[in-house]
Amino acid sequence: MLTPLLAAFQFLTILPLPARRQPTLPDLGRAVGWFPLVGLGVGAVLAGVDWLLGFILPPGVSAVLLLALWLLASGAIHFDGFLDSCDGLFGGKTPDQRLEIMRDHRVGAFAVAGGGLLLLLKYSALAAMPHRTAALILAPTLGRWAMALAIVLFPYARAQGLGRAMKDHARWPQALVATAIALAAALAVGGWTGAGAMLAAGIAFLLAAGFIRTRIPGLTGDSYGAINELVEAVVLLSVLVLL
């Protein structure tokens, strides 16, 4: 169990965690079940930093610094996937063209517009919250829960890649473990607000994954990152409304 757990943290964060051995492909699949636990760790760090910043900075300024730390924690891999998805899903005329655009690391107009609006939305939600500890913990937790479900439930669009390897070795037990962790965290941290945020996250995940499948034949690694980013934003908004 330890190797898949460490693999989840190594894959989703920039933490240089030690490992007794390199994770195998089955380990990568089993790591999917621990994705929400990684999000819970990221959220706990964000909440702790927010508490410290509250002694010296106003909420708006600290919200910017929290977003910077949020991106740094993952090496911005999810945000990069969101940018690539914006360019590909909205920029191509055929599924093959969209997949090819998503491979291109250059940033287009749709990526700039989508990324800017996403960050602005997250910032506005954080700045508007008088108490945001629950939101900071729940958003990354439920975002990575949605990623885990996306990997297990939806087909993969490419024949090769790291996402393909995870998809091929992730099964229903991983989806159930991820859901159990996310539900326990949602109820423990937010109570009924957490339950409402998880419901909103589930709806957002299904809508996002469904839309992606209308544009390309399946999901990709970029799609997983995009789903995470969108669900995080929805969770912030839902907590803001429900508080």
* DSSP string covering 90-110: HH-SSHHHHHHHHH--S--HH
User: What confidence score (pLDDT) does residue 2 get?
Assistant: 78
Is 236 within a domain?
Answer: yes
Q: How many domains does the chain have?
A: 1
Q: What is the pLDDT of residues 55-108, one digit of tens each?
A: 999 999 999 999 999 999 999 999 999 999 999 999 888 999 999 999 888 889
- Which token pair is 12? 């989703």
Is 192 within a domain?
Answer: yes
User: Is the pLDDT confidence value at 20 over 80?
Assistant: no
Residue numbers of the domain that contains 83:
2-14+24-242
CA distance 28 to 4: 6
Is 19 within a domain?
Answer: no
Is 237 within a domain?
Answer: yes
Alpha helices by DSSP H, listed for the chain, are: 2-12, 25-31, 35-53, 59-73, 77-91, 95-103, 109-128, 133-153, 162-169, 172-215, 221-242
Q: Find the mean pLDDT for residues 19-48.
A: 89
Q: What is the pLDDT of residues 207-232, one digit of tens each?
A: 999 999 999 999 999 999 999 999 99
Q: What is the pLDDT of residues 138-191, one digit of tens each?
A: 999 999 999 999 999 999 988 776 677 788 888 899 999 999 999 999 999 999
User: What confidence score (pLDDT) does residue 31 get?
Assistant: 92
User: What confidence score (pLDDT) does residue 19 get?
Assistant: 61
- Which token pair is 136? 């900071």
